[in-house]
Amino acid sequence: MTALAADTARGQSIAFRLGVAMVLILVLVVLASVVAATRFGQAASDETFDRLLRGAALQIAERVSVTDGRVRVDLPVSAFELLSLARSDRVFYRVIGPDGHTMTGYEDLPLPPGNAGSDAIYDARYKDTAIRAVKLTRLLAERSMSGQVIIVVAQTTRERTGLAASIATNAVLIIAAAGVLLLFLALLVLRVALRPLARVERAILEREANDLSPIDVPAPEEVAVLVAAINRFMGRLESRIEAMQNFVADAAHQIRTPITALRAQAQLALEEKDPERLNRLHRRLYARSVGLGRLADQLLSHALIAHRADTAAREMIDLRRVALEAERETRAASAQAITVELPDEEVWVEGDPVSLREAVKNLLNNAAKHGGAPITILVERHDGWASIMVRDHGSGIPEALAARIGERFTSDGISPDSAGLGLSIVASVAATHGARLARRTGENGFAIGLEIPVTRP
């Protein structure tokens, strides 16, 4: 329970993460929109007020005339009424005659920096204030006069800045409001979208502790993947637990019989006074305990194989090496002579070296026990297959037993000396390697082993 609490504390909720991500995105969007809206507002406002300026300048330009060889300008009131539409902006103007002298207006009103063409709209400073000005050039082509009259009309920027700010503010407010609304909607949608997860959680929590059957909860695609993964995992868990339970049951059964026999004989030996029969009992006791030891070995070996089948990493191995190692380990435990026949080239297969070695050792044990010398380990390569076989000169496996190879090692009637348990181990190694349990009978004797698909030519 505490572990569960710690886990939930460590991982934040999906809703929280998505919420944070969305807030960040929204903040970014709002910031971007502030920049965009400010630009847009400034542009829109400039366009509006520049029109006033240009309109006023055009009206003034229209009133430039030449009379009696003199240039005159008769300022139209309408031009200034136009400019007065920007209610609180100050107005400056300047008219420069063909001789370059200011004819009327503010003599120090700045012209655009550099001679930027005949007409220009520009920002400047005048009387300690930012102004926006338009410069218009009117060419004179009278009989008595030629040259140009420059008209400059300028305004302070208060109204246009105000308009720009109000456009931008409105836009940003709308965007921000939409953003907040979106956020709430998104969180709402999120809650709805994550509801299947809560259902799965409830389904798991409500289960009995030992219920490992697949979860059957209706779930959308994304969650279904998760549910399927959980189900696969539980499936594996269940098969492992089942295998374990079977093994424990089998092992108990397998071991209980010989131990009962051993105890009976030991009891007989205690009561026996006749030295000869006592000696015979001792020998039998010894044989029984050796058999029991081997049985225990095999059971452990089987457990090992079963465990590795699920957990061991597959690697590339040379079958010749497996053969040599199996031979060495077997030789250390028995006096039997074993020959090894190997090809010159490496024989690569993909698999678990430990499991394969155990399989070969079991075959060697069987051969030593039931077959006849000489015993040989053969490694060969065929098209697409590699084989590792153990050959002896015995009679082979009885048909009754051969038919049961591959079943779970059986509980009835297999004595510690039986080949059944060893073959069962070999069969399960074959199964985990996608290999075939092969038997051959020829003039050289009986051979049994694994044929494994080759992964490298």
Partner 1 sequence: MRRLAPLLLAAVIASPAGAAETRMPPRGEESQAHLVIESTTDFVIFEPILLAFQRQNPGVTITYRELTTNEVADDVAAACEEDRFIADLVISSSIDQQLKLVNDGCALPLGAEARAGLPDWARWREELVGLTFEPAVTVYNRAYFENRRVPESRFELIDLLRESQDFVGKVGTYDIESSGVGYLFAFQDALQASTWGRLVESLGRNRARLFCCTADILDRVADGRLLIGYNVLGSYALQRIESDERFGIVLPDDYTLVLARAAFVAKAARQLELAENFIAFMLSAEGRDILSSEIRLLSPIDGPERLAALAASGSADPQTLRPIAMTPALLVGLDRAKREIFLEQWRAALPAGSVAAGEE
Positions touching partner 1 (CB under 8 A) are 72-77, 79-81, 83-84, 88, 90-92, 95, 103-105, 127-129
Output the furthest CA–CA distance in the chain (Å, rounded).
Answer: 166
∠ CA 424-429-430, nearest 5°, is 95
CB nearer partner 1, residue 39 or residue 127: 127
Min. distance of Cβ 130 from partner 1 in angstroms? 12
CB of 78 to partner 1, least distance (A): 8
Q: How far is the CB of 89 from partner 1 (least distance, A)?
A: 8
- CA dist 34 to 14, 25, 173, Å? 30, 14, 9
Tokens of 17: 């993460």
Taking the least distance from each CB to partner 1, the nearer of 75 and 187 is 75
Asked if residues 230 and 215 have their Cβ atoms less than 8 Å apart, the reply is yes
What share of residues in the chain are helix, strand, coil (percent, to 5)? 55, 20, 25
- Please report how close the Cβ of residue 128 comes to partner 1 at its closest, in angstroms: 7
Closest CA to 337 of 313, 368, 293: 368
- Nearer residue to partner 1 within complex by CB, 84 or 161: 84
Q: How far is the CB of 30 from partner 1 (least distance, A)?
A: 33
Q: How far is the CB of 61 from partner 1 (least distance, A)?
A: 14
Our CB check for partner 1 shows the closer of 130 and 244 to be 130
Comparing CA positions, the residue from 387, 370, 352, 386 lying closest to residue 423 is 370
Shortest Å distance, C-beta 41 to partner 1: 22
For residue 88, the minimal CB distance to partner 1 (Å) is 5
The secondary element (H helix, E strand) that includes residue 125 is strand 120-126
Considering beta carbons, is residue 66 or 438 the nearer one to partner 1?
A: 66
**7 vs 128, which CB is nearer to partner 1?**
128
Backbone angles phi, psi at 256, to 5 degrees: -60, -40
Q: Which is nearer to partner 1, 73 or 342 (CB)?
A: 73
Q: What is the H or E stretch that residue 108 is in? A: none
Nearer to partner 1, 109 or 319 (CB): 109
**What value, to the nearest 5°, has the Cα angle with vertex 122 and ends 118 and 123?**
155
> DSSP of 324-350, one letter per residue?
HHHHHHHHHH----EEEE--SS--EEE
Q: Which two tokens stand for residue 242?
A: 């089942």
Q: Between residues 82 and 430, which has the closer beta carbon with respect to partner 1?
A: 82
Judged by beta carbon, residue 127 or residue 191, the one nearer partner 1 is 127
Nearer to partner 1, 127 or 207 (CB): 127
Give least dist CB 101 to partner 1, A.
Answer: 12
Tokens 């502030």, residue? 34
- The nearest distance, CB 66 to partner 1, in angstroms, is 13
How open is the CA angle 414-415-417, to the nearest 5 degrees? 120
Cis amide bond preceding 112, omega within 30: no
CB of 120 to partner 1, least distance (A): 22
Short-list 172, 222, 170, 165, CA closest to 194: 222
DSSP 434: T
Distance spanning both ends of the chain, measured CA to CA: 54
| DSSP string of 193-253, one letter each residue | HTHHHHHHHHHHHTS-TT--SPP-----HHHHHHHHHHHHHHHHHHHHHHHHHHHHHHHHH
